């Protein structure tokens, strides 16, 4: 940026400078990403919630007979929802069950999971509970074996943690969903129109890349940097799967600022004050309203293009999204989540070496599908 530049040239040069430092770890880049998260993430969500535009309860949006209710319903197809014993996951499981899906409640809390499955069956839906810990490879293996390669129509990677150690955050929010998706690829392939929905967060706007050192860092994630990295990595996983597996529809969904049990636990002693003052009701969505966005991503009728080689706007749009926010597939996401070189770096350095020893067949299938985008 030179003093002799025209104002338009200065603005363009500043824009290039910002774009060039998005993925770096310099103080300027971190400040830029933090401001991006505060403005386009938290700020936008607060304005939406306070303005009363945070969405409606899924029971009102997807009630039988409404125009958004799927015409043929789930038709008894199998849908797996992780982290479904409370908060957003429980509401999503109930919404999918009401739409005709046969829901598998996957969570680590057995009593709460069994109770939810019984409640869904009592309402006339088909539901079952299978124990699953996203941070345990053996549990993921047992879960995949328990499905007995039944055709699976939908996988909702909703389980997540916040405010724990950095390594546990990465294992639960990124490594676990990756391994679970790879383990269920044979079951997903048996369905005519399989879909994977990865539940993200605007926190991914804070992260520039996923650091492999975070996987082994046992320090407490008090600043939620590992949480931001895990959500960025999950969105990069979506980019990878869209490019490698054209037969699989992969979408991302951001529920927004939600008053979930996980968030209440993170706030700790501030939770009663937020609830008593009414701030929680005004500034945060309820889990039922947040589930509407995830359900919209799961029931979206659009399919990816038949050939990824087509350089059409439609093909590029699907390779970069959609990213559902407030039920709409055009939410703001960072450029890092869409850059194929960063996603390939995550796959080759972190995900592939870890997954190839656990699920070698499906891991090699994804790697082979990514061979056409490797440079």
> What amino acid positions are annotated as catalytic residues?
227
230 Cβ partners below 8 Å, 6+ apart? 160, 169, 170, 172, 173, 174, 210
CB 206 within 8 A of CB 225: yes
What does 226-280 look like in DSSP terms, one character per residue? HHHHHHHHHHHHHHHHHHH-TTSEEEEEE--SB--HHHHHHHTTHHHHHHHHTHH
HSE (side-chain half, CA atoms, 13 Å) at 252: 32
- Rounded to 5°, angle at Cα 318 from 291 and 92: 15
Question: Could you tell me the end-to-end alpha-carbon distance of the chain, in angstroms, rounded to an integer?
Answer: 32
Q: Give buried/exposed letters for 84-100 (b at 16+ CB in 10 A, else e).
A: bbbbbbbbbbbbbbbbb
Helix, coil or strand: residue 199: strand
- Give the CA distances from residue 239 to residues 152, 182, 201, 224, in Å, rounded to whole numbers and listed in that order: 21, 15, 15, 23
Joined together, the tokens standing for residue 262 give: 């996980």
What does 282-308 look like in DSSP terms, one character per residue? HHSB-HHHHHHHHHHHHH------S-T
Rounded-to-integer distance, Cα 180 and Cα 194, Å: 15
* Chain position carrying tokens 């996983």: 237
Helix, coil or strand: residue 326: coil
E strand or H helix that includes residue 104 = strand 102-107
CB 70 within 8 A of CB 64: no
Rounded-to-integer distance, Cα 311 and Cα 234, Å: 25
Strand partners, 285: 258
Task: Specify burial of residue 1 (Cβ count, 10 A radius: 0-12, 13-18, 19+).
Answer: exposed
């Amino acid at each position: 940026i030179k003093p002799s530049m025209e104002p338009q040239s200065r603005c363009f040069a500043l824009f290039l400078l910002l774009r060039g430092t998005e993925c770096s770890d310099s103080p300027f880049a971190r400040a830029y990403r933090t401001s991006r998260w505060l403005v386009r993430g938290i700020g936008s969500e607060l304005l939406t919630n306070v303005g009363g535009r945070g969405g409606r309860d899924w029971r009102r949006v997807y009630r039988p007979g409404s125009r958004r209710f799927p015409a043929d319903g789930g038709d008894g197809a199998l849908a797996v929802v992780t982290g479904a014993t409370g908060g957003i996951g429980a509401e999503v499981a109930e919404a999918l069950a009401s739409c005709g899906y046969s829901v598998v409640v996957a969570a680590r809390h057995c009593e709460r999971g069994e109770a939810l499955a019984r409640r869904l069956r009592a309402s006339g839906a088909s539901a079952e509970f299978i124990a699953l810990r996203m941070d345990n490879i053996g549990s993921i293996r047992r879960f995949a074996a328990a499905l007995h390669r039944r055709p699976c129509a939908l996988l909702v990677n909703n389980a997540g943690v916040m405010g724990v150690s950095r390594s546990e955050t990465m294992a639960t929010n990124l490594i676990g969903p990756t391994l679970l998706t790879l383990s269920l690829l044979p079951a997903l392939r048996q369905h005519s129109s399989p879909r994977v929905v990865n539940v993200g967060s605007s926190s991914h706007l804070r992260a520039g890349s996923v650091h492999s050192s975070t996987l082994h860092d046992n320090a407490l994630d008090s600043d939620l940097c590992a949480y931001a990295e895990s959500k960025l990595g999950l969105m990069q996983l979506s980019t990878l799967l869209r490019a490698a597996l054209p037969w699989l529809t992969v979408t991302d969904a951001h529920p927004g600022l939600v008053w979930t049990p996980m968030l209440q636990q993170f706030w700790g002693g501030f939770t009663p004050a937020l609830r008593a003052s009414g701030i929680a009701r005004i500034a945060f969505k309820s889990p039922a309203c947040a589930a509407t966005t995830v359900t919209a991503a799961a029931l979206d009728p659009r399919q990816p293009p038949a050939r990824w080689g087509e350089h059409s706007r439609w093909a590029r749009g699907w390779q970069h999204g959609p990213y559902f926010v407030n039920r709409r597939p055009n939410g703001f996401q960072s450029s890092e989540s869409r850059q194929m070189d960063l996603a390939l770096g995550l796959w080759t350095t972190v995900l592939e070496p870890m997954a190839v020893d656990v699920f070698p067949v499906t891991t090699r299938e994804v790697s082979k599908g990514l061979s056409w985008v490797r440079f």
